[in-house]
């Protein structure tokens, strides 16, 4: 198979790495890729957000399958346009991708499907949003309806903070058109978890789960980022919980979308909060998580191209999806200053030093020359995800940090607590809330 992969982050390097292991692969191209994907594939200077160029490129290369990494091309309708051109793609159509590209749509779908989630209201009018807040004094979450590169969710402790957040979205236009509609939600507390399933719209693969770290500093302090690390499996993840998530969250939504004539195909990512009241759904995403993909894709035992093709063709019932169970920890190395201002162009050293039970996935990196073996420099905020694995999380964590310590670039920063299990874990006391009864 000739495959074109869209995207250039750590998630896409992990996808390229896993796809390269498939015996079905003839040749792999990545648009636009990074220095890591350049070693496995041919990088192309094609913007994944430019739908026409992607379709033209796929057509001229005779691509058999386009694999879409990030949400933006999906929200732009890349899968629809490719399908019109007779090219198969892994990922949902524009209509199904609304589950991520409109938070109001996602909440409406969840409500109709009976999926548990926080109470919420959707506003297109600022005055109405502010009036609502005056009668809801407690903590709330204000969300820009559309895609905002992960920045459109504002956690507010008081109604004043929430009113300021509404104004930021609706008057100040902080998130552009994405913030013209806002969703205001009840503020939930509990244990967060990211759950993933492959689906062709009907068949659902076994679920796999990971946790990510959003805040920049150790102990979850400081501003939010695109993700500072991840690990799998979460200590509380088990078959019972997986079944519950499948039956109460994933299956009802997929059934509803299929019934509306907009079946969801691809990988579905459910962001969940385990609360005292049980499972609550925070969001759906129409793609793999980043940096969750970097710890999840190494677990995929089945052939990735067979699975993705089956999702695209509606034949997932004929392709078993198997996940291996092995602890993985992924630590993100960032440019100094991220998620604020940072400098790029620094030489990265130590990438060649191999350490057993570890892997390095690139994100914001670029080659300084034409050849894949040329020196690598930093080119973004999140630069690398260093992944380690082992028999348990402590082992995996040890291997990730051991590899990470071999790598250097000026100003590099990383969290030191990724995959760390708080010492009180045995009695469950570290959970913000008691483990829900239903689990
Ligand atoms: P979302 O993009 O909707 O997942 O929101 C991003 C992050 O904001 C989530 O991963 C949570 O950490 C947090 N969040 C979202 N919705 C809520 C909520 N209703 N209550 C508490 N935290 C939330
Ligand atoms: N790890 C969060 C995300 O990919 O949206």
- The CB of 70 under 6 Å from ligand 2? The reply is no
Q: Is residue 224 part of a domain?
A: yes
What is the model's pLDDT at position 135?
87
Q: Whose CA is nearest to atom 4 of ligand 2?
A: 289
**What's the CATH number where 338 sits?**
3.90.600.10
pLDDT grade for 426, boundaries at 50, 70 and 90: very low
Last residue of a domain, one of 290, 324, 358: 324
Rounded to an integer, the average pLDDT of 31-37 is 97
Q: What is the pLDDT of residues 129-155, one digit of tens each?
A: 889 988 888 899 999 889 988 788 888
Q: Does the beta carbon of 290 sit less than 6 angstroms from any atom of ligand 2?
A: yes
212 shares a domain with 152: no
Alpha-carbon separation of residue 173 from 52, 249, 265, 293, 294 (angstroms): 29, 33, 33, 32, 33
Same domain, 283 and 351: no
Is 252 within a domain?
yes
Which residue from 224, 271, 281 has its CB within 8 A of the most atoms of ligand 1, so it is best to mutate?
271
Which of 107, 153, 269, 285 has most ligand 1 atoms within 8 Å of CB, for mutation? 153
Tell me what pLDDT residue 270 has.
Answer: 98
Dist CA 194 CA 281 (whole Å): 10
Contact by Cβ (8 Å): 54, 73: yes
Q: Do residue 213 and residue 309 come from a single domain?
A: yes
My answer on whether 264 and 318 are in the same domain is yes
Least confident span in 64-78, 159-173, 289-303, 425-439: 425-439
Residue 427 has pLDDT above 80, yes or no: no
Full 3-state SS string of the chain = CEEEEEECCHHHHHHHHHHHCCCCCCEEEEEECCCCHHHCCEEECCCCCCHHHHHHHHHHHCCCEEEECCHHHHHCCHHHHHHHCCCCEECCCHHHHHHHHCHHHHHHHHHHHCCCCCCEEEECCHHHHHHHHHCCCCCEEEEECCCCCCCCEEEECCHHHHHHHHHHHHCCCCCHHHHCCEEEEECCCCEEEEEEEEECCCCECCCEEEEEEEEEECCCEEEEEEEEEEEECCCCCCHHHHHHHHHHHHHHHHHHHHHCCCCCCEEEEEEEEEECCEEEEEEEECCCCCCCHHHHHHHECCCHHHHHHHHHHCCHHHCCCCECCCEEEEEEEECCCCCCCCCCCCECECCCCCCCCEEEEECCEEECCCCCCCCEEECCCEEEEEEEEECCHHHHHHHHHHHHCCCECCCCECCCCCCCCCCCHHHCCCCCCCCCCCC
Same domain, 312 and 373: no
Distance 87 CA to ligand 2 centre (A): 27
**Nearest alpha carbon, ligand 2 atom 3:** 289
The pLDDT score that the predictor gives to residue 23 is 98
Check pocket membership of 292 for ligand 2, CB cut-off 6 A.
yes
| Owning domain of residue 256 | 191-324
Q: Other CB atoms closer than 10 Å to residue 177's CB: what's the count?
A: 12
C-alpha to C-alpha distance for 74 and 345, rounded to whole angstroms? 30
Answer yes or no: is the C-beta of 64 below 6 A from any ligand 2 atom: no
Nearest CA to ligand 2 atom 5: 289
Q: Which of 37-46, 52-61, 178-187, 344-353 has the lowest mean pLDDT?
A: 178-187
Characterize the bridge pairing of strands 140-144 and 153-156: antiparallel
Distance 153 CA to ligand 1 centre (A): 7
Is 99 part of any domain? no
Domain-located, residue 110: no
Ligand 2 contact, 7 CB (< 6 A): no
285 pocket-lining for ligand 2 (C-beta < 6 Å): yes
Task: Determine the residue of 75, 151, 209, 269 to mutate for testing ligand 2's pocket, defined as the one with the most ligand atoms within 8 A of the Cβ atom.
Answer: 269
Encode pLDDT of 194-233 as tens digits: 999 999 999 999 999 999 999 999 999 998 899 999 999 9
Give residue 291 CA to ligand 2 midpoint distance, Å: 7
Q: Which residues contact 88 (CB under 8 A, 6 or more apart)?
A: 64, 65, 66, 82, 309, 312, 313
- Written as six digits, the tokens of 4 are 């074109």
Say if ligand 2 is within 6 A of residue 212 CB. Answer: yes
CATH of the domain at 37: 3.40.50.20
**Residues 32, 130 within the same domain:** no
Is 303 among the domain residues? yes
> Do residue 361 and residue 263 come from a single domain?
no
195 and 278 share a domain?
A: yes
Q: What average pLDDT score do residues 289-305 get?
A: 98
User: Ligand 2 centre and the CA of 192: distance in Å?
Assistant: 12
pLDDT digits (tens, 9 = 90+) for 54-103: 999 999 999 999 999 999 999 999 999 999 999 999 999 999 999 999 99
Among candidate residues 90, 85, 72, 48, the one with its CA nearest the CA of residue 306: 90
- Same domain, yes or no, for 334 and 315? no
Centre of ligand 1 from the C-alpha of residue 276, in Å: 17
For the stretch 265-293, pLDDT in tens is: 999 999 999 998 899 999 999 999 999 99
pTM: 0.94
Q: In what order do the strands lie in the sheet with 327-334?
A: 278-285, 266-275, 191-199, 208-217, 221-232, 327-334, 382-390, 358-362
Nearest residue (CA) to ligand 1, atom 1: 283
> Which is more confident, 104 or 180?
104
Centroid of ligand 2 to alpha carbon of 395 (angstroms)? 24
Query: Residue 240 falls within a domain, yes or no?
Result: yes
CATH number of the domain encompassing residue 180: 3.30.1490.20
331 and 320 within one domain: no
Has residue 438 been placed in a domain? no
- Whether 318 and 360 map to the same domain: the answer is no
The residue from 281, 309, 324 where one domain ends is 324
Residue 113 in any domain: the answer is no
Report CA(357)–ligand 2 centroid distance (Å): 24
**Nearest Cα residue to atom 12 of ligand 1:** 192
Quick: pLDDT tens for 303-359: 999 999 999 999 999 999 999 999 999 999 999 999 999 999 999 999 999 999 999
Question: Which of 162, 186, 210 marks a domain boundary?
Answer: 186
Atom of ligand 2 nearest to the CA of 227: 1
- Number of domains forming the structure of the chain: 4
Residue 273 alpha carbon to ligand 1 centre in Å: 9
Query: Domain containing 236 — which CATH number?
Result: 3.30.470.20
Question: In this predicted structure, what is the pLDDT of residue 434?
Answer: 35
Q: Which atom of ligand 1 is nearest to the CA of 150?
A: 2
244 and 317 in a single domain? The answer is yes
What does the pLDDT average to over 158-185? 87
């Amino acid at each position: 198979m000739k495959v074109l992969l869209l995207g250039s982050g750590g998630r896409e390097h992990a996808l390229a790495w896993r796809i390269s292991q498939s015996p079905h692969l003839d040749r792999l191209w990545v648009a636009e890729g990074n220095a890591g994907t350049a070693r496995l594939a041919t990088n192309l200077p094609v913007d994944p957000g430019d739908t026409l160029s992607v379709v033209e490129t796929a057509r001229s290369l005779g691509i058999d399958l386009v694999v879409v990494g990030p949400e933006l091309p999906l929200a732009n309708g890349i899968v629809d346009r490719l399908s019109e051109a007779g090219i198969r793609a892994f990922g949902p159509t524009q209509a199904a991708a609304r589950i991520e590209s409109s938070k109001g749509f996602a909440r409406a779908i969840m409500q109709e499907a009976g999926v548990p989630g926080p109470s919420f209201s959707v506003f297109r009018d600022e005055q109405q949003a502010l009036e609502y807040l005056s009668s809801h004094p407690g903590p709330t979450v204000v969300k820009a309806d559309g895609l905002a590169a992960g920045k459109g969710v504002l956690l507010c402790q008081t109604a004043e903070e929430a009113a300021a957040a509404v104004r930021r979205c609706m008057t100040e236009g902080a998130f552009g058109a994405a913030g013209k509609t806002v969703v205001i939600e009840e503020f939930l507390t509990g244990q967060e978890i990211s759950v993933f399933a492959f689906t062709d719209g009907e068949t659902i693969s076994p679920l796999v789960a990971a946790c990510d770290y959003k805040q920049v500093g150790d102990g979850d302090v400081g501003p939010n980022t695109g993700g500072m690390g991840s690990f799998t499996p979460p200590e509380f993840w088990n078959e019972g919980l997986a079944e519950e998530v499948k039956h109460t969250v994933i299956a009802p939504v997929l059934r509803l979308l299929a019934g509306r004539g907009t079946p969801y195909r691809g990988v579905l990512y459910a962001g969940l909060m385990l609360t005292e009241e049980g499972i609550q759904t925070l969001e759906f995403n129409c793609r793999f998580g980043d940096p969750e993909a970097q710890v999840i894709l190494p677990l995929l035992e089945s052939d990735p191209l067979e699975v993705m093709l089956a999702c695209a063709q509606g034949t997932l019932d004929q392709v078993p999806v198997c996940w291996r169970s092995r602890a993985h920890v992924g630590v993100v190395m960032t440019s100094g200053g991220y998620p604020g201002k940072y400098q790029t162009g620094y030489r990265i050293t130590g990438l060649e030093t191999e350490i057993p039970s570890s892997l390095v996935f690139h994100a914001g990196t670029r080659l300084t020359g034409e050849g894949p073996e040329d020196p690598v420099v930093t080119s973004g905020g999140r630069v690398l995800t260093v992944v380690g694995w082992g028999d348990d999380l402590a082992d995996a964590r040890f291997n990730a940090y051991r590899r990470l310590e071999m790598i250097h670039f000026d100003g590099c920063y990383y969290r030191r607590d990724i995959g760390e299990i708080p010492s009180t874990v045995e009695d469950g006391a570290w959970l913000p809330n008691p483990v829900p009864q239903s689990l």
